[in-house]
Structure 1
Amino acid sequence: MTPTHHHPAAVVDGAPVWPHEIDARLARMRAADGGDRLPDPSSAEGRQLRRWTTQVVVLERLFEAAAAGLPPGVAGPAIRQVVPDGVAAVELGSMTTAALTRSEAGRRVYAHVASAYPGGHAKRRAFLDWLAPRLHRVELGPGYEHPADPRQPDAEHRH
């Protein structure tokens, strides 16, 4: 379905994420070094990039809300401490990794959630377990569905 600028791209805990916010993020990505290699916005790949970017913004919003409730003094570690290698990036997934890279609030939440766990994999698993139920508080608008949602027309993974 084609997105409309009259309806939110997503709603996170009742707060809208407007299409112009997603458009602005994509414009910054296109203006950055290498942005000319991004897919044409009207192509299937370009629409999937819009959906992927929406997911990153939604995650950042969830992280910001959670970080607001953290006790004082919980610092956000450097991204290399959260995602030290490709294995960690695969475990977390590309959207979560991107959101954590951009979001100091997300890294603060990660540190808080994962603090009781000894190893990297256990920390990442605990964080993903924390994140999963929070994703149910997100509503995605038409044209902003999850990139892997088989109901959207550009989904590449079908059974």
Structure 2
Amino acid sequence: MTEEYAAQVRGRPVPKDRVDALLETVPARDRETRPDALARAERQRRRWATQVVVIDELAQRACAQRSPRGAGLYPSAAPPRGATSHDGAAPEIRPNTTLPAERDVADLGSIVAVALAHSPAARTLLEQLERDQQIPEEAAYDYYDRNRDRFLTPAELTRGADPFHESSDLLPYAQVREGILLELRRAAGRRAFFDWLDRARADVVYAPGYEHPGDPSHPDHEHRH
């Protein structure tokens, strides 16, 4: 009997229809015409979509663990209409067209970037992890000192000053400190997100045909970003 799930997370099935629903919202970027090439592209697209759905499922669980009563699970976006708690049917992931304009996610890789664009739980978890990061004052000032070219005054930029020359005027550290802390906190939060995801995915078991698109155990694997 063919399994009706795309993956299992700690024994709990992730239904195939969640993968199908995502595939309907994200158009194919492959334009193959030959039947064999088209079939391969669709297999890879299904595996890719499975990863996005699994990240959403894992993020829902992580958010529920961090907020047992469900408080604050979706600060970036309200849950989809008809969504229930984590203990019931899983809320569907949904598009969020504002995310790419608000935050550059291209460096996170296509799977994680799309998960953040479609999953309120994944966005929430990333935001929570960013807020959790404690950046020492010494690290912020060291960043300021090592990246002087980013903090030249407008007049110095106009005249093309050497940012590392002792006489060059920089914006005061106190003026740029909050922006530096925000940037360092965001970078640390992303690292924490990937660390969490690596650990969380260790418990996932995939149904045949739904493996990671870069899994070398299947013959047409590929790993692209």
**Cα gap change, 1:7 to 1:81, in 2 (>3 Å):** closer
Q: CA deviation at 1:39?
A: 5.3
Question: Given the alignment of the two structures, is residue 17 of structure 1 paired with residue 14 of structure 2, yes or no?
Answer: yes
- For the 8 Å contact 1:76–1:111, the answer to whether it is kept is no
Q: Which has the larger radius of gyration?
A: 2
User: For each residue in 1:51-107, what CA deviation from the matched residue of structure 2 results, as whole angstroms up to 9, or x when unmatched?
Assistant: 00000010100011111123334653476499722xx422x2211111111111111
Between the aligned partners of 1:103 and 1:37, the Cα distance in structure 2 is 20
Partner of 1:138 in structure 2? 204
Between the aligned partners of 1:156 and 1:70, the Cα distance in structure 2 is 34
Between the aligned partners of 2:21 and 2:72, the Cα distance in structure 1 is 32
Q: 1:45 aligns with which of 19, 24, 41?
A: 41
Partner of 2:63 in structure 1? 67
Q: CA deviation at 1:5?
A: 4.2
Instruction: Give structure 1 stretches of 5+ with no counterpart.
Output: none
- For the 8 Å contact 2:3–2:207, the answer to whether it is kept is no
What code does the residue aligned with 1:144 have? Y
Superposition map of 1:112-127 within 5 A: 112-117=128-133, 118=181, 119=184, 120-127=186-193
Deviates more, 1:120-129 or 1:144-153: 120-129
Q: Which of the pair has the greater relative contact order for Cα pairs under 8 Å at 6+ separation?
A: 1
| TM-score normalised by structure 1 residue count | 0.76
Deviates more, 1:122-131 or 1:50-59: 122-131
Question: Given the alignment of the two structures, is residue 95 of structure 1 paired with residue 95 of structure 2, yes or no?
Answer: no
| TM-score normalised by structure 2 residue count | 0.56
**Cα gap change, 1:63 to 1:52, in 2 (>3 Å):** same
Q: CA deviation at 1:23?
A: 2.5
Matched length? 146
Superposition map of 1:20-35 within 5 A: 20-26=17-23, 28-29=24-25, 35=27
* Structure 1 segments of 4+ aligned residues over 3 angstroms from their partners: 35-42, 71-83
- Output the aligned Cα RMSD: 2.9
Secondary structure of 1:134's counterpart equals helix
Q: CA deviation at 1:15?
A: 1.2
Partner of 2:91 in structure 1? none
Q: Percent identity?
A: 39
Between the aligned partners of 2:109 and 2:47, the Cα distance in structure 1 is 15
Partner of 1:84 in structure 2? 103
**Cα gap change, 1:57 to 1:73, in 2 (>3 Å):** closer
Secondary structure of 1:115's counterpart equals helix
